[in-house]
Structure 1
Amino acid sequence: MELARRRMQEELDAKAAMIKEKQEQQEEEKRRQKIEIWDSMQQGKSYKGSAKLSQTPEEDSSSTTVLKPKTAKKTLRSTDYSPLTGQGGGSCSWRPGRRGPSSGG
């Protein structure tokens, strides 16, 4: 029984060590990315630009995607309605009930 417990404990320790190693690698990768972003910002490049730097010029020339021009969205409501001001909403106006104790006995 004791031997089985030791084996299970050793397996558990090995799995824990592997998980810890993976977490350390992920943290190192995040730290490296933050350093790259900081360096690119110091050079005056944008954050989004650093992601594009990872592509090679060959990939940029081979990808020839044509961007479609954006069309104006249709408005679903009239522009004179503003829920923040409460104006122009129509005949429906909600008001909170009276404060205080309820009436009745």
Structure 2
Amino acid sequence: MADVEAIITFLESKDGGRSRNVFNGYRPNHLIKDDYLTTGVHHYYDMEEVVLGKSVYGTITFISPEAYPHCLWVGKIINIQEGSRIVGYAEITKIFNDLLIKEIVED
């Protein structure tokens, strides 16, 4: 089951992104915390291929979320990376995995 839903945006190659479009099942790294990269599997709604430079809705299923609990909130933007290179961004719109929800304390 997916951990989050997000608006996923891929950079064009001229902006440092990939040189080829991405497909359902793409498994990039995600900078889930400032000091923690993890892999996640992407599934895009109503499409198999995402054109670079475009934004799409989809889900991300992370590996071993128990290693980085309580680190996400709706509206958080995380880097999508291939190694150290940023190839896109994901803005969290829904969190399905309660373990990942960070409680925001307001004063």
TM-score, normalized by the shorter chain, greater than 0.5:
no
Bigger strand share: 2
Bigger helix share: 1
Higher-Rg member (1/2): 1
| Higher RCO structure, 1 or 2 (CA under 8 Å, sep 6+) | 2
With the length of structure 2 as denominator, give the TM-score of the two structures: 0.18
With the length of structure 1 as denominator, give the TM-score of the two structures: 0.19
